[in-house]
């Protein structure tokens, strides 16, 4: 997991900077999430464009797969040709997904470890204090220490300034202590993880609708499996993460609607079909080929199709290669007796 936390340092610095101005952990998380979402808007637009293009490309790809389902070699050949004609790379949408994953884990670490990333207490000091207090859960240890400082507990190993920073760390958000763990029952704290789950479900529905894709099999279930995972997560970590995730889902909904407005799959589908048909017509169009008649030496012209032109160019390339490497050995060496 550590590899995914590579962005936790700079993201934690931004969260600390925001908290310095507002003085409230909950408000800092909200403003921090808005900043992250604004910064990721170009990435969101790029991903929506890729998904919209995939929605156009998918039916064409399925048509080829069904047509040549018994001939895998021909199927792969036609799929490559289709990609070249259409100008689409199926892996183009992977980069935004990977970057989003790094951002998500970076934010998670920054929110999990407020002592380290917001209050600036060295990791070695926190680790030593955890060992002294017998805290073994890495995710909840720092929020537990903050709670203890609020309650006035003695925390050997912290300097006076560090203790004062932990004791004065404002984690109250409209009566909800963001360092608390969610408790099942009638309490204010349960609101945040429930809202996180609701906004996540709505976000999934709208995002899949906006993409214009028809997912099949296990791919259709993947967003819901990931959503269930994060829903479980919200009930097993401090409430600060639920607040972040809830705000992030709401902002993502807005981004998705804006992205759909700019790159609407239906409009792109019609545009892509028109462009593809225009390319195919251009390929079918006759071209004039100028060549020298080997018998008479005269320069002549001939009208050929794109496929015929490709064959002529291939034959010409082979002739040039044959002339270039005419003096090189082409027979297998015989073993000397």
CA pair distance 123, 127, nearest whole angstrom: 6
| pLDDT for 332 beyond 60 | no
What residues have CB less than 8 Å from 56, skipping those under 6 apart?
Answer: 86, 265, 268, 269, 272, 273
Query: pTM score > 0.85 for this model?
Result: no
Q: Which residue has the higher pLDDT, 26 or 87?
A: 26
Q: Give per-residue pLDDT as tens, 121-177.
A: 998 999 999 988 888 888 888 888 998 999 888 888 888 999 999 999 999 998 899
Are residues 140 and 181 in contact, defined by beta-carbon separation less than 8 angstroms? yes
Q: Give per-residue pLDDT as tens, 279-303.
A: 767 666 666 767 676 667 777 677 7
Consecutive H or E run containing 224: helix 217-234
The pLDDT value recorded for residue 19 is 93
Mean pLDDT taken over the chain: 78
Q: At what angle do helices 138-150 and 94-112 cross, to 10 degrees?
A: 40
The pLDDT value recorded for residue 24 is 93
The pLDDT value recorded for residue 221 is 65
The pLDDT value recorded for residue 222 is 64
The pLDDT value recorded for residue 218 is 52
Are residues 234 and 191 in contact, defined by beta-carbon separation less than 8 angstroms? no
Six-digit token string for 182: 């969610």
The pLDDT value recorded for residue 215 is 53
């Amino acid at each position: 997991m550590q590899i995914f936390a590579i962005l936790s340092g700079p993201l934690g610095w931004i969260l600390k900077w925001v908290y310095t101005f507002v003085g409230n952990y909950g408000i800092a998380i909200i403003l921090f999430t808005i900043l992250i979402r604004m910064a990721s808007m170009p990435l969101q637009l790029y991903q929506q464009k890729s998904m919209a293009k995939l929605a156009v490309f998918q039916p064409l790809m399925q048509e080829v797969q069904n047509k040549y389902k018994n001939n895998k070699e021909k199927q792969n050949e036609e799929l490559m040709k289709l990609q070249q004609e259409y100008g689409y790379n199926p892996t183009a949408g992977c980069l935004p997904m990977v970057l989003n994953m790094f951002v998500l884990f970076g934010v998670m670490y920054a929110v999990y470890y407020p002592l380290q990333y917001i209050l600036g207490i060295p990791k070695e000091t926190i680790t030593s204090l955890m060992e002294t207090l017998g805290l073994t859960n890495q995710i909840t240890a720092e929020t537990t220490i903050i709670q203890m400082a609020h309650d006035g507990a003695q925390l050997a190993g912290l300097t006076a300034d560090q203790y004062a920073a932990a004791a004065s760390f404002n984690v109250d958000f409209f009566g909800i202590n963001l360092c608390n763990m969610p408790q099942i029952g009638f309490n204010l704290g349960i609101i945040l993880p429930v809202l996180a789950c609701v906004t996540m479900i709505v976000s999934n529905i709208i995002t899949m609708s906006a993409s214009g894709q028809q997912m099949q099999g296990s791919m259709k279930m993947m967003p819901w499996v990931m959503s269930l995972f994060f829903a479980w997560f919200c009930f097993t970590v401090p409430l600060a993460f639920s607040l972040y995730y809830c705000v992030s889902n709401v902002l993502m909904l807005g981004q998705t609607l804006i992205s759909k407005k700019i790159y609407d799959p239906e409009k792109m589908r019609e545009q892509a079909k028109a462009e593809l048909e225009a390319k195919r017509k251009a390929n079918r169009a006759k071209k004039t080929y100028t060549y020298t008649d080997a018998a008479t030496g005269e320069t002549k012209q001939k009208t050929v199709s794109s496929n015929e032109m490709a064959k002529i160019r291939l034959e010409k390339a082979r002739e040039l290669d044959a002339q270039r490497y005419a003096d090189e050995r082409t027979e297998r060496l015989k073993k000397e007796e």
